[in-house]
Amino acid sequence: MHDIHHPAYKKLEQIGREITTVVKPKAVIVLSAHWQATARDTIEINTSNTMDLIYDHYYREKYPNRGSQPLADHFMTVLSANGINTRPVARGLDHGVWVSFKVAFNPDTNPLHVPIVQVSLFSSDHPRQHYALGRALSSLRSEGNVVIATGMAVHNLRDLRKTMGNPAPLPYASSFDEALREAVESDSVEREERMISLLGRSDASQAHPTLEHLLPIFVGAGAASTERGMRLWTLPEGSTSWAMYRFGAVPTFLGQIDEGRAKA
């Protein structure tokens, strides 16, 4: 967030401006690696009209935003109709959302003037369950909403100390990053199975010691329905990858914005 010269910063700014000036959504539905529901097989939806920021660092940061209880209620109705159990909660925005949004939707240069409704991940790490959540969200895109899923293509904080000061990617960062691209960009008929098969790769446990940063892209792919997935940009770096994806064509697309250390 503070390294304005990092290539990911500029790419996020570009994607954010595309969303505000070309896509012009009615609202933003966002899923973050940093919010998994507490109840089993139930999705939580933030119904707050005003949201504080949830911090784990950068305590002085601000990000102006607004939610929408009516939209959140509608989204719960749609999910319920598609077999997804839901529960309303009042919650702030976690840093998986506000750190990346502060770059993509800078309040001074590219403000987001529409409501943000955050939807949790499931409490489980099951990729097929999250793909199904995406399918349930799919119809909301046709109503003029954009779905943004924030995670990382590769996210290994355990190895981060080993790579401090050395941006050269570890072998698994490059290999898993490329495997993810191949799976996401595959034909939509086989995309789900190919993405699920990623978890069986020999480098998967290194690329993602825990799965919460990978699960959001399963939701994104599910919400895309038959639309094509495309990697817009990537940068494997140390024990991470900053890959960013889009599903579908502008202006009606599901944006996958990958957070990183500045947005993790």
Q: Report the distance separating Cα 137 and Cα 147, nearest Å.
A: 8
Q: What is the token pair recorded at 97? A: 């959302």
Please name which of 55, 43, 1, 261 lies closest in space to residue 152, comparing C-alpha atoms: 261
Instruction: Say what the pTM is.
Output: 0.93
Scored b (16 or more CB within 10 A) or e, 185-208 reads ebeeeebbebbeebeeeebbebbb
Nearest 5°: the CA angle 16, 20, 21 is 115
Q: What is the pLDDT of residue 249?
A: 87
Output the CA torsion 14→50→223→209 (10° steps): 80
Q: What is the pLDDT of residue 250?
A: 83
Q: In the chain, how long is the greatest CA-to-CA distance?
A: 50
Q: What is the pLDDT of residue 2?
A: 62
Q: What is the chain's pLDDT, residue by residue, as a tens digit (264 residues)? A: 567 889 999 999 999 999 999 999 999 999 999 999 999 999 999 999 999 999 876 677 899 999 999 999 999 999 999 999 999 999 999 999 999 999 999 999 999 999 999 999 999 999 999 999 999 999 999 999 999 999 999 999 999 888 887 899 999 999 999 999 999 999 999 999 999 999 999 999 999 999 999 999 999 999 999 999 999 999 999 999 999 999 998 864 444 444 433 333
Sequence spans of domains, the chain? 7-256
Using DSSP, state whether 105 is helix, strand or coil. Answer: coil
Q: What is the pLDDT of residue 153?
A: 98
Phi, psi (rounded to 5 degrees) for 170: -65, 155
Q: What is the pLDDT of residue 51?
A: 96
CATH of domain 7-256: 3.40.830.10
Q: What is the token pair recorded at 123? A: 């409490």
Phi, psi (rounded to 5 degrees) for 86: -130, 155
